[in-house]
Amino acid sequence: MKKIALGVLMFTISFTASAQQEDVKMIKSIFDTELTQGQSYEMLDYLTNSIGARLSGSPQAAAAVEWSKQVMESYGFDRVYLQEVMVPHWIRGEREQARVLNSPKHGRVELNVRALGNSVGTGSDGVLAEVIEVKAISELEKLGKKALENKIVFFNRPMDQTKITTFSAYGGAVDQRVFGASEAAKYGAKAVIVRSVGTVADDYPHTGTLIYDEKQPKIPAVAVSVKDADVLTEILKDTPQVQLYIETHCEMLPDVLSYNVIGELTGSEKPDEIIVISGHLDSWDLGTGAHDDGAGCVQAIEGLRIFKELGYKPKRTIRAVMYMNEENGLRGGKKYAEVAKEKGENHIAALESDSGGFSPRGFRMTGNDNDLKKVRSWQPLFEPYGIYDFDKPGGGADIGPLEDQGTLLIGLMPDSQRYFAYHHTDNDTFDKVNKRELELGAAGMAALVYMIDKYGL
Asked if the model's pLDDT at residue 289 lies above 90, the reply is: yes
pLDDT of residue 99: 97
Predicted confidence band of residue 316 (pLDDT cuts 50, 70, 90): very high
pLDDT of residue 104: 82
Q: What is the average per-residue pLDDT within 170-174?
A: 96
Predicted confidence band of residue 8 (pLDDT cuts 50, 70, 90): very low
Same domain? 207 vs 294:
no
Same domain? 297 vs 206:
no
pLDDT of residue 20: 87
Residue 268 near residue 26, CB atoms below 8 Å = no
Alpha-carbon span 337 to 332, nearest angstrom: 9
pLDDT of residue 240: 86
Predicted confidence band of residue 106 (pLDDT cuts 50, 70, 90): confident
pLDDT of residue 56: 98
Q: What is the average per-residue pLDDT within 256-276?
A: 98
Least confident of 100-104, 196-200, 368-372: 100-104
Of all helices (H) and strands (E), which one includes residue 227? helix 226-238
Domains in the chain, number: 2
Q: Which of 249, 270, 299 is the last residue of a domain?
A: 249
Asked if the model's pLDDT at residue 146 lies above 90, the reply is: yes
Same domain? 189 vs 213:
yes
Q: DSSP string covering 297-360, please?
A: HHHHHHHHHHHHHHT---SEEEEEEEES-TTTT-HHHHHHHHHHHHHT-EEEEEEE--S-SS-E
Whether 8 is covered by a domain: the verdict is no
Asked if the model's pLDDT at residue 15 lies above 60, the reply is: no
Q: What is the average per-residue pLDDT within 229-252?
A: 95
Residue 186 near residue 219, CB atoms below 8 Å = no
Asked if the model's pLDDT at residue 6 lies above 70, the reply is: no
Same domain? 286 vs 386:
yes
Same domain? 236 vs 260:
no
Same domain? 219 vs 275:
no
Domain boundaries, position 202? 93-249
pLDDT of residue 60: 98
User: What is the CATH classification number for the domain harbouring 412?
Assistant: 3.40.630.10
pLDDT of residue 108: 87
pLDDT of residue 148: 98
Asked if the model's pLDDT at residue 387 lies above 50, the reply is: yes
Residue 191 near residue 221, CB atoms below 8 Å = yes
Q: DSSP string covering 39-80, please?
A: -HHHHHHIIIIII----TTSHHHHHHHHHHHHHHHHTT-SEE
Q: What is the average per-residue pLDDT within 234-256?
A: 95
User: What is the CATH classification number for the domain harbouring 183?
Assistant: 3.50.30.30
Asked if the model's pLDDT at residue 248 lies above 70, the reply is: yes
Cis check for the bond before 230: say yes or no (omega within 30 of 0).
no
Predicted confidence band of residue 116 (pLDDT cuts 50, 70, 90): very high
**Percent helix / strand / coil, the chain, rounded to 5:** 40, 25, 35
Alpha-carbon span 277 to 300, nearest angstrom: 5
Same domain? 86 vs 124:
no
Asked if the model's pLDDT at residue 299 lies above 50, the reply is: yes
Give me the count of residues in the chain.
457
Same domain? 401 vs 355:
yes
Same domain? 85 vs 98:
no
Same domain? 331 vs 358:
yes
Q: What is the average per-residue pLDDT within 35-45?
A: 98
Mean model confidence pLDDT for the chain: 95
Q: What is the average per-residue pLDDT within 38-61?
A: 98
Whether 368 is covered by a domain: the verdict is yes
Asked if the model's pLDDT at residue 78 lies above 50, the reply is: yes
pLDDT of residue 233: 97
Asked if the model's pLDDT at residue 356 lies above 90, the reply is: yes
pLDDT of residue 14: 47
Q: How far is CA 188 from the centre of its chain?
A: 33
Q: How many CB atoms lie within 10 A of CB 137?
A: 17
Write out the catalytic residue numbers. Answer: 326
Residue 327: closest CA among 61, 102, 62: 61
Same domain? 402 vs 351:
yes
Predicted confidence band of residue 7 (pLDDT cuts 50, 70, 90): very low
Asked if the model's pLDDT at residue 26 lies above 90, the reply is: yes
Residue 250: closest CA among 405, 137, 358, 92: 92
Asked if the model's pLDDT at residue 336 lies above 90, the reply is: yes
Residue 343 near residue 132, CB atoms below 8 Å = no
pLDDT of residue 10: 44
pLDDT of residue 220: 98
Asked if the model's pLDDT at residue 200 lies above 60, the reply is: yes
Mapped to the 3 state alphabet, what secondary structure does 171-187 carry?
HCCCHHHHHHHHHHHCC
Residue 243 near residue 100, CB atoms below 8 Å = yes
Alpha-helical runs (H) found in 85-222:
138-148, 166-171, 175-185
Q: What is the pTM of this model?
A: 0.94
Predicted confidence band of residue 107 (pLDDT cuts 50, 70, 90): confident
Asked if the model's pLDDT at residue 105 lies above 90, the reply is: no
CA–CA–CA angle 120, 121, 125 (5° rounding) = 145
Instruction: With H, G, I as helix, E, B as strand and everything else as coil, classify residue 380.
Output: helix
Same domain? 86 vs 133:
no
